[in-house]
């Protein structure tokens, strides 16, 4: 890995320099050798709406990673899966969960109301009651629905009729899709399927840090994992508006300031790695919904994804982010895998010409990945199209 630079205030960082900084922090230059909780805090909250993507994301970043390491960390509640950034499912550490939970609340993403009908101010008591119902006990969707209906029978008129009908049509999902709760497997066995049941989060909003401390913590988490970053990047990642995020960034006296090629201010932690632009970036595979493809505002992701490939990676019709592979640090194509008659194949769809050297790297890395994805197959192959 190249040397770490400490440029002067306001020095311009090229896209390549930003790219290498990102890859270094994410363990995509050199896989990380550390306890899983330390890795997750270093690489930032992990997108988890496609549950099977989590092991792939960590395998690409962690030396000797095993899926059971991940599931064991959830079981021990060292990691927590819940509705966090932008109201989507993420995995974070238990240590940082209280800050993420509070930021979600303060960002207006914990609201349960979905219609314009005016409910009683007592409606928030239902969410508190649901916390108690799931405190240390695993509850299925059906059990939470029965609990809510029983609570409303005992507290008539709290939820407006129009709102209640909407909620019933959606199985009262808005009351569970908040940072008050964490996902948990209904039968207690962690694995490749998204946990479909719920428990109270270890530290729901209001039970942990205050708003100011939580916001500063989450902002610095983003810098540590994806920096150097702009205020717009951080706000997008959190699901917040830019002005309050920029205010926090400007108030952090220890942050270094750089500029990007468009003249925008980039913020970074002094101790974070910023390798030389000449640092070699190995071929790597990114999971579906990989965090590095969602950590920056939508129009400013060129440090890892060339603009000409955006439409091939982001599926607007169904809001999917496809699995990709990196060559020289940049997205260079898509990948997928399947098993037929016991033969597992990892198929790579390149967006452009791949050099022989890059193809050799992709073949080697891809064979390791397909063996991890399909350990019971009789044979494993990598196909580049």
pLDDT(216) > 80: yes
Rounded to the nearest integer, the mean pLDDT of the chain is: 94
What is the pLDDT at residue 112?
87
Q: Looking at the whole model, is its pTM more than 0.85? A: yes
Element (H, E) at 357: helix 356-373
Interatomic CA distance for residues 339 and 320, integer angstroms:
22
236's CB contacts (< 8 A; 6+ apart) are: 296, 297, 298
- The DSSP string of 265-334 is EEEE-TTS--B-TT-----EEE-TT-GGGTSS-TT--TTTS-GGGHHHHEETTTTEE--EEEETTEEEEE
Average pLDDT over residues 203-213: 94
Are the beta carbons of 39 and 32 closer than 8 angstroms? yes
Render pLDDT for 24-65 as a digit per residue (tens, 0 to 9). 999 999 999 999 999 999 999 999 999 999 999 999 999 999
Q: What is the pLDDT of residues 91-141, one digit of tens each?
A: 999 999 999 999 999 999 888 889 998 888 888 899 999 999 999 999 999
CB atoms within 10 A of CB 366: 25
Question: CA 311 → CA 184, 202, 294, 314, 317, distances in Å?
Answer: 34, 39, 14, 6, 11
Angstrom distance (rounded) from CA 305 to CA 326: 9
DSSP code of residue 178: S
What confidence tier does 319 reach under pLDDT thresholds 50, 70, 90?
Answer: confident
320-321 vs 314-315, strand pairing mode: antiparallel
Question: Do 255 and 216 form a contact (C-beta atoms < 8 A)?
Answer: no
Q: Rounded to an integer, what distance in angstroms lies between the CA atom of residue 275 and that of residue 5?
A: 7
Euclidean distance between CA atoms 127 and 83, whole angstroms:
15
Which tens digit of pLDDT belongs to each residue from 165-174? 999 999 999 9
CATH fold, domain 306-384, is: GMP Synthetase; Chain A, domain 3 (3.30.300)
What is the model's pLDDT at position 121? 85
pLDDT at 186 over 50: yes
381, burial (CB in 10 Å: exposed 0-12, middle 13-18, buried 19+):
middle
Which of 111, 85, 97 shows the shortest CA–CA distance to 238?
85
CA 182 to chain centre: 15
Residue 242 pLDDT level (bands cut at 50, 70, 90): very high
> How, if at all, do strands 197-200 and 79-83 pair?
unpaired
User: Mean pLDDT throughout 223-236?
Assistant: 97
Tokens coding 170: 């959606």
What is the pLDDT, as a whole number, of residue 318? 79
% of residues, the chain, pLDDT over 90: 90
- pLDDT tens digits, one per residue of 326-374: 999 999 999 999 999 999 999 999 999 999 999 999 999 999 999 999 9
**Is pLDDT at 6 greater than 60 in this prediction?**
no
Domain ranges of the chain: 1-110+178-304, 116-177, 306-384
């Amino acid at each position: 890995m190249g040397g770490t630079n400490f440029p002067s205030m306001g020095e311009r960082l090229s896209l390549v320099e930003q790219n290498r900084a990102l890859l270094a922090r994410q363990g995509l230059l050199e896989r990380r050798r550390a306890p899983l909780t330390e890795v997750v805090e270093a690489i930032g909250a992990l997108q988890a709406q496609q549950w099977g993507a989590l092991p792939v994301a960590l395998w690409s970043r962690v030396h000797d990673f095993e899926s059971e390491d991940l599931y064991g960390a959830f079981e021990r509640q060292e990691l927590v899966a819940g509705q966090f950034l932008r109201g989507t499912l993420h995995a974070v550490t238990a240590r940082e969960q209280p800050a993420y939970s509070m930021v979600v609340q303060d960002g207006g993403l914990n609201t349960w109301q979905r219609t314009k009908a005016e409910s009683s101010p007592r409606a928030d008591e239902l969410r508190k009651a649901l916390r108690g119902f799931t405190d240390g006990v695993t509850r299925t969707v059906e059990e939470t629905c029965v609990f809510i209906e029983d609570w409303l029978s005992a507290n008539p008129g709290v939820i407006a009729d129009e709102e209640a009908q909407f909620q019933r049509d959606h199985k009262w999902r808005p009351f569970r899709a908040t940072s008050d709760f964490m996902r948990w497997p209904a039968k207690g066995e962690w694995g490749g399927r998204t946990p479909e049941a719920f428990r109270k989060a270890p530290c729901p909003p209001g039970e942990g840090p205050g708003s100011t401390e939580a916001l500063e913590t989450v902002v610095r988490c983003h810098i540590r994992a994806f920096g150097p970053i702009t205020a717009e990047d951080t706000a997008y990642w959190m699901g917040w508006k830019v002005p309050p995020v920029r205010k926090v960034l400007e108030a952090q006296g220890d942050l270094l300031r750089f500029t990007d090629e468009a003249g925008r201010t980039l913020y970074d932690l002094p101790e974070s790695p910023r390798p030389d632009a000449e640092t070699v970036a190995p071929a790597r595979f990114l999971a579906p919904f990989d965090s590095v493809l969602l950590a920056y505002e939508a129009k400013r992701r060129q440090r890892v994804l060339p603009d000409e490939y955006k439409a091939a990676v982001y599926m607007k019709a169904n809001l999917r982010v496809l699995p990709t592979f990196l060559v020289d640090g940049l997205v260079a194509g898509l990948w997928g895998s399947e098993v037929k008659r016991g033969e597992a194949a990892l198929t790579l769809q390149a967006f452009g010409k791949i050099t022989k050297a890059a193809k050799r790297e992709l073949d080697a890395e891809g064979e390791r990945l397909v063996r991890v994805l399909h350990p019971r197959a009789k044979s494993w192959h990598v196909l580049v199209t």
